[in-house]
Amino acid sequence: MEQSLIMIKPDGVKQGNIGQIIHRFEQHDYQLRAIKMFTMSQELAKQHYAAHKQKDFFDDLVAFITSGPVVPMVWQGTDIIASARDIIGTTDPKAAKLNTIRADFGTDVRHNAIHGSDSVENAKIEIARFFPDM
Ligand code: UDP
């Protein structure tokens, strides 16, 4: 069964949206397999966003993602990776479809409330990164 690393970002936590975001996934036929809350180190943040290290927003992104606690989770279900990306919405909340998590809880292209793995390969890497005991 497919698994995805879904993570509520510091803005989602600070604005009190943990419960509502988790509820979006519970409304579907997905199982929550792991969850925790912690503040990412600079090192972990740089690893997680290594694909963006050449981008001009990289330093600001690392500063944001380490600015407070995050809630990483492992969700499991049929086609969860693609389906979760649909539930989450596009990167920029202002461009995201109605009723997506980012449209409802995101603020701007950086502060967009949630992360979801974008491929089977990356999901495996991200789950191992955040939940090495799984
Ligand atoms: N991001 C940013 N500035 C940008 C684009 C993206 O700070 O101009 C942040 C944003 O938080 C996004 C993350 O970098 O979620 C990763 O970007 P990606 O393009 O992988 O988007 P995602 O897969 O999260 O939709």
How much distance in Å is there from the Cα of 104 to the middle of ligand 1? 17
Kindly list the distances between the CA atom of residue 5 and the CA atoms of 33, 51, 54, 127, in Å, as whole numbers in the listed order: 10, 16, 23, 6
d(C-alpha 80, C-alpha 28), whole Å: 10
Q: Which residues are catalytic?
A: 115
State the CB neighbour count (10 A cutoff) for residue 121. Answer: 9
Cβ of 118 closer than 6 Å to ligand 1, yes or no, is: yes
For the chain, which domains are there? 2-130 (3.30.70.141)
Q: Given ligand 1 and candidates 59, 61, 114, which is best to mutate, with the most ligand atoms within 8 Å of its CB?
A: 61
d(C-alpha 57, C-alpha 92), whole Å: 14
pLDDT in tens, 65-92: 999 999 999 999 999 999 999 999 999 9
How much distance in Å is there from the Cα of 54 to the middle of ligand 1? 13
pLDDT in tens, 4-34: 999 999 999 999 999 999 999 999 989 999 9
Q: Which ipTM score applies to this complex?
A: 0.98
